[in-house]
Structure 1
């Protein structure tokens, strides 16, 4: 572990879907990069779980690595599947709903 309490993942070959396990009835997350300029967080969603509508002051890139989800941006629904990505614009309400179990990488750009 590093002095921040996070495992040091630098200079390792990582299999994204092995880094955050599915957990029944919940959303699990694991932050793998935390810098002033932004963060990278991995999420796993059990089927039927989601993140309620919210806004962030920064753009974010959501990339699906497993499964299928619905992403709503300002009330418009988008279906995203493994291999898809969508940019969540700053200051626009968005929500995520797992149609089936799915995993995603969320990259938040702060600068």
Structure 2
């Protein structure tokens, strides 16, 4: 039996505030991987105000949920402003970027295809 946790870097069987699990100081983007395999990736991010992740794409659909603050997401040239509790799906293979309008935190879930198209 595999004893390795499928969800890592976070306490199990404890009620937690997800926003408290990752923090960024000025000038930082901090990430914490909670799950990673060939099919799914779950990562928490904290962005200091003014920080960003430049334009890139993914072979999987990427779903972001803002858990604190406000972030700007640019998907295939279109801007979206997301506030706490809001979610956006960025389709696979579309270029996208992430910008911290103010300090914010998000959870990113990427679902990868069974086979690359």
Same fold (TM over 0.5): yes
Aligned to 1:36: 38
Structure 1 vs Structure 2 CA RMSD:
1.7
Deviation at 1:3, TM superposition (A): 6.1
Normalised to the residue count of structure 2, the TM-score between the two structures is 0.85
Give the one of 46, 49, 52 matched to 1:47: 49
Q: Between Structure 1 and Structure 2, whose CA radius of gyration is higher? A: 2
Aligned to 1:66: 68
Any unmatched runs of 5+ in structure 2? none
Paired residues of 1:20 and 1:29 also in contact (CA < 8 A): yes
**SS of the counterpart of 2:45?**
strand
Deviation at 1:24, TM superposition (A): 1.5
**SS of the counterpart of 1:86?**
strand
Q: Distance in 2 between matches of 1:11 and 1:85?
A: 26
Aligned to 2:107: 105
Residue 39 of structure 2 is aligned to residue 21 of structure 1: no
Any unmatched runs of 5+ in structure 1? none
Paired residues of 1:9 and 1:32 also in contact (CA < 8 A): no
Deviation at 1:34, TM superposition (A): 1.6
Q: Aligned pairs, how many?
A: 109
